[in-house]
Amino acid sequence: MARRTPLHARPRERSRSGGVEGNTRLTSSFGAILFALLFVEGLTIVSIGSLLTPHIFVGVLLIPPVLLKIGSTSWRMAKYYLGNREYRHKGPPAPLLRFLGPVVVVLTVVLLGSGVALVVGAPTSWRPQLFTIHRVSFVLWFAAMAIHVLGHLVETAKFAPRDWLPYTRRQVKGATTRQWTLAAALALGVVAAIAILPYAANWRAAFFG
């Protein structure tokens, strides 16, 4: 008699993207990269006057990975609420993290959006308001992000390396696609950051002389 595949394993095998674990691996990989980039971005705040250009560069570099991480988490949420069995079996995050998720997304968009608007030439009359929005959103974002990171730290540490280790990358389909997705996001971020550098130089000249 042929050996039957366990029912819970079938959706993963049929999915070219790796199903729920593939989504978790992708989200965790983006989370690890973003944590590293945000750490560098935080270091530039210590001396923003002399490190304004790196601050702007890293801030813009963050945008594509942030958008794709939002996309991967939104995909998981949509699958869960649409009743996908595999995602329902995994279950939702803890209640506090479920509440903070949309808050972190909104604050991140406001923080990055206000920063870009300041650099690329918002009208002079808008700049005081944008500065206030940028600073206040950073304080709120930092508090929410600290809880968010701590809440997902174990999962990120567990799943982020799995697409990069020879043995575990073969266990779930789509590892190469996820790796290229991550690389493409970073490459796009670098291109966007290089493109904005002339604006950063003009902004520095206008405000720091």
Q: Domain boundaries in the chain? A: 17-208
* Beta-carbon contacts of residue 152 (< 8 Å; ≥ 6 apart): 28, 31, 93, 97
pLDDT at 109: 94
Chain segment 87-126, per-residue pLDDT in tens: 998 888 888 888 898 999 999 999 999 989 888 876 777 7
- CA angle at residue 195 from 194 to 196, to 5 degrees? 90
Structure token pair of residue 190 = 């670098």
Count Cβ atoms below 10 Å from residue 77 Cβ, excluding itself. 16
Taking the chain (209 residues) in runs of 10, the rounded mean pLDDT of each run is 42 61 94 94 87 92 95 92 90 86 94 89 78 92 92 93 92 93 96 89 59
Q: How many CB atoms lie within 10 A of CB 107?
A: 21
DSSP assignment of 55-124? HHHHHHHTHHHHHHHHHHHHHHHHHHHTT-HHHHHH-PPPHHHHHHHHHHHHHHHHHHHHHHHHHTT--G
Identify the pLDDT of residue 127.
80
Enter the pTM of the model: 0.84
